[in-house]
Structure 1
């Protein structure tokens, strides 16, 4: 009867220890799950950051190519302007010389004879022929260069437009990646804060569990000591009962002997 409450206390203490161990295992499992989730987020963040760096590198490369195309286009435009200026200057010089000759031819022949008139006409024809040949030569020499410059200019403008479109596309593609990086960083920071809180909570709970386990162990020791003490008391009582039983038996025997003696004397 005295052992049953002690055994119940021991079983209750064991149940509390097992519940504390189960709760500790649950907290450790949650901690491991959070660590796995953080590891996956870090891997995803590394991948997105790598893609973002690659896009930024391509963007800088495109910008460098764009600056080179702009410089080349400026050089072509400068050459085209220079050639156009030279051609305009030649045309202006030719027009001035033609005007001078025309004025000379239209001047009234005051003392000129037919020979001077013929010579002037011949010189005018030769000059016009020279001007035409010079013009054709200039056109043959500069026109292919101008055409090539125009083609290069058109190609450069087209490439510039395409490159600007690609840069805009890269910027648009980079924008969600940057947003994803920011979101993942915030999520990672939040998870790290949760891990810190979980660790603090786990440490507090572990401390409480240890205190409870120590208290339960102390109670268990007390119960064991109480059981041992009760066992000793029971043993002493048993020994006392046995001793009393022996003494009672001896006393009964003595009474019986005394009774027999009394009867024999009568």
Structure 2
């Protein structure tokens, strides 16, 4: 196998990379004896090529989902992938001219085909192919490195641009999150105030019920006192009528007694006689009887007066108690009316406040809904940006892989 020439000499012949002891060319893939240099050796000393393992099977570059190896020059379906075509099967040019058209390595500036090996006059040697020189390889690798650096710069710029695009969305999301947290805190505060208002309303209702109960009890006691007072007044009227009757009877008795005394005095002034003595005795007897009757009437009247005196004191006490109860009832009614007015005002204020809180909660819920919609749209945009970034990453990886394949 003849040696591979890297450069052309003065006569157009390739300059070998090494020369043997006898001046013969030593190509890269053969040793000094002319035997091919393998990339590896078996246990028995046999050569192992680069793209096969110790068993002679191809070394895969990747492993698919079933664990089967995918070779470098085949796709996932096992079909061969040439190094000069992309994933869609279109040809990948090595370079591009000013018009963006691909310029293959074996074409010159005029897009005319340049043979791999030429002689001193520039004529192509169809039988032998010229390899790239070290300078051309260096230039080509330098161009590849520059292209990779350019792609990395573009990738970094796109990443920065994506970060700049994502920053307002993230800022809005953070702001929306803070607003949602503030809304939740406000909602908790409103619920706490609502519970406190409910407790206050319940306490006010309990106080109002207690005051109403006390007022009803006072009214019942007042009615009972009024009934007792009516009974005492009727009994007093009876006693007063009885005392009047007794007084009238006493006056009549006094009058009759005076008349009888006058008659007896007149009879005494007349000359005594038997009949007069009889009248005198009868008069004395009547006088004694009258005096006993008067004394008895006086005693009965005194007893009635004595019986009437505690009743009068009881009536006075009941009148004072009735007056105090009426004053207490009036004060209780006034206090109840004032408390009812205050409670109604407080209830109206609490209802107005509750309405305001409900309106605030509804407004905050609408804001939360708008923020949720904004967050959803931002998530969608971020997912779109991520998809674009993934697509760009896949494109960069495919270009890097294509460059590595070349």
CA–CA separation in structure 1 for the residues paired with 2:261 and 2:382? 139
Of 162-171 and 138-147, deviating more is 138-147
Query: Which of 233, 241, 252 is residue 78 of structure 1 equivalent to?
Result: 241
CA–CA separation in structure 1 for the residues paired with 2:243 and 2:273? 42
CA–CA separation in structure 2 for the residues paired with 1:12 and 1:65? 78
Partner residue, 2:218: 55
CA–CA separation in structure 2 for the residues paired with 1:103 and 1:61? 62
The structure with the largest strand share of the pair is 2
Shift in Å at residue 96 of structure 1?
2.3
CA–CA separation in structure 2 for the residues paired with 1:95 and 1:127? 15
Across the two proteins, how many residue pairs are aligned to each other?
243
Partner residue, 2:127: none
The structure with the largest helix share of the pair is 1
Partner residue, 2:343: 188
Tell whether the 8 Å contact from 1:76 to 1:153 is kept in structure 2 after alignment.
Answer: yes
Tell whether the 8 Å contact from 1:31 to 1:198 is kept in structure 2 after alignment.
Answer: no
Unaligned runs of 5+ in 2: 1-162
Partner residue, 2:287: 132
CA–CA separation in structure 2 for the residues paired with 1:104 and 1:194? 100
Shift in Å at residue 140 of structure 1?
4.4
Of 84-93 and 120-129, deviating more is 120-129
TM-score, length of structure 1 as denominator length:
0.82
Which protein, 1 or 2, shows the higher relative CO under an 8 Å CA cutoff with sep ≥ 6? 1
Superposed counterparts of 1:143-182, under 5 Å: 143-182=298-337
Shift in Å at residue 51 of structure 1?
2.0
Q: Is 2:224 the counterpart of 1:94?
A: no
Shift in Å at residue 177 of structure 1?
2.4
Of 1-10 and 27-36, deviating more is 1-10
TM-score, length of structure 2 as denominator length:
0.55
Shift in Å at residue 249 of structure 1?
4.9
Shift in Å at residue 104 of structure 1?
4.3
Q: Is 2:25 the counterpart of 1:25?
A: no
Partner residue, 1:235: 390
Tell whether the 8 Å contact from 2:264 to 2:280 is kept in structure 1 after alignment.
Answer: no
Of 28-37 and 97-106, deviating more is 97-106
Partner residue, 1:4: 167
Shift in Å at residue 120 of structure 1?
3.7
Unaligned runs of 5+ in 1: 110-116, 254-266
Query: Which of 212, 218, 228 is residue 65 of structure 1 equivalent to?
Result: 228
Q: Is 2:198 the counterpart of 1:198?
A: no
Q: Is 2:179 the counterpart of 1:16?
A: yes
Of 13-22 and 167-176, deviating more is 167-176
Shift in Å at residue 127 of structure 1?
2.7
Of 83-92 and 136-145, deviating more is 136-145
For the aligned residue pairs, the C-alpha RMSD in angstroms reads 2.1
CA–CA separation in structure 2 for the residues paired with 1:139 and 1:97? 15
Tell me which structure has the larger Cα radius of gyration.
Answer: 2
